[in-house]
A = this chain, B = another copy of it.
C-alpha cells in the first residue's frame, strides 16, 4: 500500500482524499474526485453544465484575528458531510451525486457511504432531481453511473440485513458505464443525456 506523500496539503479536498487513500484505497494516478472536478471545469468552460464540488465541511473551533491580516483558523476538524459532494444543473434540471472508488473487483463496500447522504439522495429523487452515484472499480478501470433508485432498493433491503456491500454485477446490470474522453475524463453528462433527458425519467 502506498501512503500519500506529505501531510502538508494546500486544499481541503486533497487532504480529505489523502485520508481516504490511507484508509481504503491505493494511490495510483489521479483520483476519481479530481477527474470529476476537471470534467466539471470542462463542462463549465464549454457551457455544457454548471456543476461544482461543495467545499469540505469543517468545524471551526478557534480563530485568531491578527491585526491587518486574514483571520487564521487555529483549531478545526473535518465534519461528516450531510449531503453529497457534487451538485448543480444541466438543462434546467437539478443534478446531485456522490463519487466512490474502490480497489475491490467484486463489490463496493457500503462502509464509506453515510446514511445521511443516502437520506439526502432519496429526498432529491422524490423532489424530481437527477440523482446518482459515480462508482469506479479501479482494478478494472471501469466507471459507472448508478441511478439512485436501484441503489435505494438494494440499500433498503440489504443494509439492515446481512450484506455490507453492493456487488459489481448489480452495479453493472443497473448502472451505465461512463465513457472516457480526453477533455472530460468522467463524461457523465453523456449518460445523463441518454438516461434522464432522452430516456424520460
Contacts and interface: CB of A to CB of B under 8 A. Distances in A.
How many copies are assembled?
2
Contacts of A15: 60, 63, 71
A26 to B, nearest CB: 19
Contacts of A95: 94
Interface string A4-35: 00011111100100010000000000000000
Contacts of A70: 77-78
A157 interface: no
Q: Which of A44, A55, A124 has the most CB of B within 10 A?
A: A55
Nearest to A48: B127
Contact of A50 (B49, B52, B54, B127): B127
A74 B75 contact: yes
A119 to B, nearest CB: 10
Interface string A46-63: 010110101111111111
Nearest to A8: B62
Interface residues of A, number: 53
Interface in A94-129: 94-96, 120, 123-124, 126-129
Interface of A: 7-12, 15, 19, 44, 47, 49-50, 52, 54-63, 65, 70-78, 81-83, 87-96, 120, 123-124, 126-129
